[in-house]
Structure 1
Amino acid sequence: MNPQIAARMARSFDRWKRFDAEHQRHARAVLESLRQHAGLSRDVFEVVDKALG
């Protein structure tokens, strides 16, 4: 409902590569799922795409 708050919440995944292997796998799956979500705001897409990049 609020793209700016959603983008801030998505930033919690910025450090997913520091997680152990199992948690990395789960975090990456969530990020990939979010990136494919229809209707995703530009703000959230940018954060998620950067986290995966």
Structure 2
Amino acid sequence: MSVPIVLDIDDAKKERIYGLGSTSVVPIDGLDNPVAILINLSALLIKNNEN
């Protein structure tokens, strides 16, 4: 069973995370709220390790 992780994402890092693709981050509301659910944490970790 997978459990979503909810984080408050800083605006400066938001673009970097959204760059992972729509399957990685799902906004909670349509108001460009920086709170998101990461549904593919492994992709985020790999991306961060490459930088």
TM above 0.5, one fold?
Answer: no
TM-score by length of 2: 0.33
Q: Which has a greater percent of strand?
A: 2
Q: Which has a greater percent of helix?
A: 1
Question: RCO greater where, 1 or 2, for CA within 8 Å and sep 6 or more?
Answer: 1
TM-score by length of 1: 0.32
